[in-house]
Structure 1
Amino acid sequence: MGIAVNVFVLGLAVAWSGPDPKQLWRLLGEDGIVEWMQFLCFTVIAGLLAFVTIERVRQPDSGRLEILALAGLSLLVALAAVEEISWFQRVLQVQSPDFFLQNNRQAETNLHNLAVGSGSLHKNVILKLIVITGLIHNLILPLLARSRPGVKTFVERFGLYLPPLAASVPYLVLVILSHLLIDHPRKGELGEMFGAVHYLATVFGAYFVGVAYQRTPLFAGAVEGRRVTTLFAMLLAFLLLVSWLLSAGVGATGA
């Protein structure tokens, strides 16, 4: 379902890449469908990781390091969620403080658009880290783990997981296609949304039903796993619908 959602959004971007720029701005602009989808996915991921953290605390065999790693990731993803929509600034119609008006590339109340050199913190630093980390986590380590199972064991010892290549490869291909097929100044938002959906699906798959995961998942039974997976697939489709409605309510812009 995660792959299907991403394919649908890419198809929508291609279909809306016509002579009328308003449609594509509705998809990729500030408070657009893609941006709200990122926020919703990050929010759910943070909640899932927090839930897993609490469950690991209750397990006597859980290490302190893995609990700290899961809790830290939950907080980091929650920060990414509110940063994505500038801490609800536009929703609440709050004016940016003077510091952000002077130092933020978009005059918004967020950290990732702070000026760094000729660009922003996001473009000059964060985006490069995301690309490097994403390639290592989704391609290099999973490929190494196929011939060296100890790699997966080592990663999971720290409370983390490796996405299955069946999910990672389509995700990376879709990111590449979004850059090749779409001509828009904010086309990078597509890749970011693809990553948010991909990680939402793989976080659920690993920790909750044990997809490509060696440790016991939260739903270990086959029947329970199938039922909760069906509900999760419905949730992904619902998140896309909600993001569409939110973009209409707040009003996507070309800023």
Structure 2
Amino acid sequence: MVTSAATKRNWLTHPAIATGIAVNVFVLGLAVAWSGPDPKQLWRLLGEDGIVEWMQFLCFTVIAGLLAFATVERARQPGAGRLELLALGGLSVVVALAAIEEISWFQRVLQVQSPDFFLQNNRQAETNLHNLAVGSGSLHKNVILKLIVIVGLTHNLVLPLLARSRPAVRDFVERFGLYLPPLAASIPYLVLVILSHLLIDHPRKGELGEMFGAVHYLATVFGAYFVGVATRRAPLFENANDGRRLSTLFAMMLVFLLFVAWLLSAGVGATGA
């Protein structure tokens, strides 16, 4: 089991955390570099079926798979609590649905026409729930984004700060099968979100923050459950050498996901919709 002292070390140098931050910094740098007089490049990055949107889908898909794997492995361990398994399994399903919602259930890939209900009630006439009209905006903008901000700040900043002086906070969270991201990962993530709003002038600049969150959670979910980054719970791979090798492979995979997202944006064709 990881000791309490280990939860306080600087995890910025861990391959999973460092690579996640590097990918997000690269994408923000790309957005700044493409914020020139020609809007086509930035639309390629931020538009529908753009690099950022596909990266979100890929990250959410992998997160769902990692959580499902962790659920099965925890279920095989003696003394696994039902609430813990329900939380992990439930999160896996929620994240999988978020991944499919992100690309409108493959509607544009398969070139499927939206049903009448979505044509009339969806802000973008797409087959998805998060863009359904709510008041003067959409479900995503008026409800989901506000919840993301509250949950994100609480999970990444408030609770980790409290846990530094009150270890019982971390114990309480981990009792439910959950985890707290290390501040070494959370602070760069939050800073990058703020910078994306300050440096980028684009109607879809919010997509950058969502992608930063997807990459951040992919790195920290892997770190917490698989190799024990900043957690007191025993990771799925307790052997240090196995964890090191697995972390190196994960870092390579994370970079590869960005490459795949780039290819998918070229194949499907990012638009300014």
Q: Is the structural similarity TM-score above 0.5?
A: yes
The CA distance in 2 between the partners of 1:223 and 1:75, in whole Å, is 31
**Secondary structure at the counterpart of residue 253 of structure 2:** helix
Unmatched tracts of structure 1, length 5 or more: none
The CA distance in 1 between the partners of 2:240 and 2:91, in whole Å, is 28
Q: How does 1:1-255 map to 2 (within 5 A)?
A: 1-255=19-273
Deviation at 1:30, TM superposition (A): 0.1
Runs of 4+ aligned residues of structure 1 deviating over 4 Å after TM superposition are none
Taking structure 1 as the reference length, the TM-score comes to: 1.00
Task: Count the aligned residue pairs.
Answer: 255
Match of 2:8 in 1: none
Taking structure 2 as the reference length, the TM-score comes to: 0.93
Deviation at 1:180, TM superposition (A): 0.1
Q: Deviations over 1:101-141 (max 9, x none)?
A: 00000000000000000000000000000000000000000
Deviation at 1:235, TM superposition (A): 0.3
The CA distance in 2 between the partners of 1:29 and 1:187, in whole Å, is 9
- Residue identity over aligned pairs, in percent, reads 88
Counterpart residue identity of residue 200, structure 1? L
Unmatched tracts of structure 2, length 5 or more: 1-18
The CA distance in 2 between the partners of 1:195 and 1:117, in whole Å, is 26
The CA distance in 2 between the partners of 1:61 and 1:244, in whole Å, is 43
The CA distance in 2 between the partners of 1:220 and 1:181, in whole Å, is 42
* Higher RCO by CA contacts (8 Å cutoff, separation 6 or greater): 2
**Secondary structure at the counterpart of residue 207 of structure 1:** helix
Deviation at 1:190, TM superposition (A): 0.0
The CA distance in 1 between the partners of 2:74 and 2:118, in whole Å, is 39
